[in-house]
Structure 1
Amino acid sequence: ILSFASIALAAPLTERAANFQSFTGALGGIAATPIVDSGNPDRPFQVKADTFVNIGAALQRSCDQQFNACANSANGGNPDLSVSACAVQQ
């Protein structure tokens, strides 16, 4: 059983949710998907529901998701976006 002191002095849960994705460009207001610590030491990087063994794969997925969301918005009639502009950002 945890004591009140151990709970009170524990690190906040938000620490685990730090975003490893450093890219801040957000064409059309569409940001790259956050990369967080999955809590699994074998697959420590998480992008949405998917986990990865290395940061490179997680970054690629995050960027791909941002591109797809941007392209979907452009194809959906957003006059401020074009698929080619989304590709340049990617």
Structure 2
Amino acid sequence: MSHNAAKHAAGERVEITLDFGADAVHLRVENTTPRHTLPDADHVPGYGLTGMRERIALVGGTLTATRKDGGRSWVVSAEVPA
């Protein structure tokens, strides 16, 4: 998830939180997005959030992605059983 923040919001603020609980591990990545995001000439499309969600589901986890601050920030959270 932090790779996506670096790829799509280079130079912007990124906050990463990793919590280990008795029942689950939770990862949260929040980043601001550039005001003008233009496609990179070297950009190779991938599976993005769908691919991350599918891979996390394989181990019984969940992934959510939401926009906040009027679309200025992304919050992506993943939780997997411990």
TM-score, length of structure 2 as denominator length = 0.28
Tell me: higher relative CO, structure 1 or 2? Use CA pairs within 8 A at least 6 residues apart: 2
Q: Higher helix fraction: Structure 1 or Structure 2? A: 1
- Greater share of strand: 2
